[in-house]
Amino acid sequence: MTAKQRVSYFYQPEVGHFYYGPSHPMKPHRIKMAHHLILTYGLYRKMECYRSHPASPSEMAAFHTEDYINFLAKVTPDNMRGYSNQMNRFNVGEYTDCPVFDGLYEFTQLYTGASLDGAVKLNRGDCDIAINWSGGLHHAKKSEASGFCYINDIVLAILELLKVHARVLYIDIDVHHGDGVEEAFYCTDRVMTFSLHKYGDFFPGTGHIKDTGAKEGTGFSVNAPLTSGMTDDAYEKIFKPVMSKIMEVFRPGAIVLQCGADSLTGDRLGCFNLTLKGHAECVAFTKSFNVPTLVLGGGGYTIRNVARCWAYETSVLLDTELPNEIPYNDYYEYYAPDFKLHLTPEQRENMNTEASLESVRVDLLNQLIGMKGAPSVQMLEVPPDFEVIKENLEAEKERKSTKEDREGEGMNDGGSGDDKRNRNTKDGKGEKRDHDAELAA
Ligand SMILES: [Zn+2]
C-alpha cells in the first residue's frame, strides 16, 4: 500500500448555469448536481477544492486556430445571422449538434481552465490526482466543433502535461470514440490513446480496431470497438488486461482519464449497460498504478445518473465508502423514486459475444506486445520527469524548449495534414456519423 494520493478538485460555480437549448441532450446542470452530491456526501473535506480560472484565448491557441477561437468568442444567438459562412466552416449552429447559445465562449473558458489548472497542479507535484467533472470534451477538433464539444480541454491539458512528462496516457471510457484527442496525437509516440466505445452506425464513426496511429505514432492509438449491451464483467475483461499491458510497455509519466458517463445503463444516448461499479472499476484500476492522473468528465445524458457516477467516482478516488442512500441536497427530487446512489443494470442481452470480446482483447494485446522494444519507446525512456518546477525561469525555459519541439518536423497538432487515418475501413463503417440514430431512439 502506497502513501495516500493527494486529490485536488476544480470547479466553477457558474459552469452549471449554461444551457444548450430545450431539446438538446447536453445539460451542463449535471455538473452542478454532481457537485452538490459531492458536497452533501462530505467528500469536499478530503480533498483540496479550487475555483478554477477561465482559460484565455492564448491558452486555447496551443491547439486551436486563432480564427476558430475568435469566432467562438464573438458569435452569439443575436448576431449569428452575420456569421453563416463561419458557422458552416466551424460546424456550429442550428443545423449541427453544436448550437450557438448564450455564454457559449464563457462556458468553454470555464471547463477548459479547470482542466489546465488540474494539469498544472499535477505538473508541479502539488497533487497526485486532479478532478474536473466539467471537462472531457473529447470530440472538438483544431478548428471545428463536434458532438457538443467546442474547445478540446483534453488535448490542451495533455499538451500542458507534455511540458513535464515524456509520455502521457489518455484513457476514454465514454460510450463514444475519443476522436478529437486521438486525431490530435495520432502521429506521435509521446501520447498513447486508449478508447473503449460503441462502434458501428454510431457517432462519430471512427475508432476501428485497425486505426492504430501513423508515422511516429504507429501503434500508439488503441481502440476497443464494442457494441450495445456491454456489462460490467465484459467491460472489465477488456479494460484491465489492455490497461495493464499499456502500463507495462508505455510507462506513462501522467494519465488523463475521461470518464464519460454515457456508457452507463439507462443513458439517453448511450447503449451500454454498465453500473456505477463497473464504470468506477476503471477509475479504481487506473488509480492503482499510482501515476499522476487528471480525471475528467465527458458525455452523460441521463443527468441524475451522471451526478451519481461522478460523485461515486470522486469517493473512489478518495478511498472513501459512500452510503447508498442519497443525502438530502438541493436536487434531491431528481433521484426519485428510489433515492439510492447505485444503479441496477437492465435485463437485456449483451450483444458483444464472448468470441467478439476475446478477439478485441487478443488483437489489442498483440498490438501492444508488438511494440515492446520499439526504438521510439526506448529513446523516450531517457528524459526524466521533473518532480517540481521551482523557479519561474526554469518553467519558462522548459516551456520554450517544448514549444520548439512541438513546432519541429512531425509536429502533430491535429491539423488535417496530421490525420493519417484510413477513413474507408474495410467494412465501410469508418465514415463520419452524426447523432441522429441515437436521438431518434
Ligand atoms: Zn459520449
Going residue by residue through the chain (441 aa), what tens digit of pLDDT does each one get? 457 899 999 999 999 999 999 999 999 999 999 999 999 999 999 999 999 999 999 999 999 999 999 999 999 999 999 999 999 999 999 999 999 999 999 999 999 999 999 999 999 999 999 999 999 999 999 999 999 999 999 999 999 999 999 999 999 999 999 999 999 999 999 999 999 999 999 999 999 999 999 999 999 999 999 999 999 999 999 999 999 999 999 999 999 999 999 999 999 999 999 999 999 999 999 999 999 999 999 999 999 999 999 999 999 999 999 999 999 999 999 999 999 999 999 999 999 999 999 999 999 999 999 886 544 444 444 344 443 333 444 444 444 444 333 333 333 333 333 334 343 333 433 445 566 555 554
pLDDT at 84: 96
436 is annotated as contributing to ligand binding: no
Residue 184 pLDDT:
98
DSSP-assigned states of every residue in 406-423: HHSTT---S-GGG----S
Q: Ligand 1 centroid to 102 CA: how many Å?
A: 23
Q: Which H/E stretch holds residue 282?
A: helix 276-287
Distance, CA 298 to ligand 1 centroid (Å)?
Answer: 6
Which H helix or E strand runs over 377?
A: helix 375-380
Q: Is 126 annotated as a binding residue?
A: no
The environment of the single-atom ion ligand 1, i.e. residues with CB closer than 5 A, is: 174, 176, 260, 262, 299
pLDDT of residue 2: 56
CA of 225 relative to ligand 1 center, distance in Å: 14
- CA 262 / ligand 1 centre spacing (Å): 6
Q: Which of 317, 331, 362, 426 is nearest to 35 (CA)?
A: 331
Q: Which three cell numbers stand for residue 66?
A: 486563432
Residue 176 marked in a binding site? yes
Give which of 138, 145, 142 is closest to 63, Cα–Cα.
Answer: 142
Q: Let me know if residue 45 belongs to a domain.
A: yes
- Those residues with Cβ within 8 angstroms of residue 18's Cβ, 6 or more apart along the chain or in another chain: 28, 101, 102, 103, 104, 106, 107
Q: How many domains does the chain have?
A: 1
Determine whether the annotation assigns residue 427 to a binding site: no
Q: Do the beta carbons of residue 178 and residue 194 sit within 8 Å?
A: no
Report CA(179)–ligand 1 centroid distance (Å): 11
If you measure from the C-alpha of residue 312 to the centroid of ligand 1, how many angstroms do you get, rounded to a whole number? 19
Exposed (0-12), middle (13-18) or buried (19+): which is 45, by Cβ within 10 Å?
Answer: exposed
299 CA to centre of ligand 1 in angstroms: 4
What is the Å distance from ligand 1's center to 173 Cα? Answer: 9
Residue 379 lies in a domain: yes
- Which helix (H) or strand (E) element contains residue 311? helix 303-317
d(CA 32, CA 354): 39
Ligand 1 centroid distance, CA of 276 (Å): 16
Domain that holds residue 283: 7-342+350-440
In a domain, 100, yes or no: yes
Look at the block and give the residue holding cell 447503449.
271
Residue 2 forms part of a structural domain:
no
Measure 378 CA to ligand 1 centroid, in angstroms. Answer: 34
Q: List phi, psi (to 5°) of 296.
A: -120, 165
Identify the pLDDT of residue 35. 98
* Cα–Cα distance for residue pair 204/208, rounded to 1 Å: 11
Q: What is the CATH number of the domain that holds 89?
A: 3.40.800.20
Please give the Cα distance from 213 to 163 (Å, whole number).
22
Cα 301 to ligand 1 centre (Å): 9
- 167 belongs to a structural domain: yes
pLDDT of residue 372: 60
d(CA 136, CA 175) in angstroms, rounded, equals 13
pLDDT score, position 137? 98
Residues 6+ apart with CB under 8 A from 143: 64, 65, 67, 68, 89, 90
Q: What is the DSSP letter of 352?
A: S
- Annotated ligand binding at 19? The verdict is no
In a domain, 1, yes or no: no
Q: Supply the residues annotated as catalytic.
A: 139
Predicted confidence at residue 433, as pLDDT, reads: 54
Q: What is the pTM of this model?
A: 0.87
Residue 262 assigned to a binding site = yes
Distance of CA 429 to the CA centre of its chain: 23
**C-alpha closest to that of 68 among 88, 95, 82:** 88
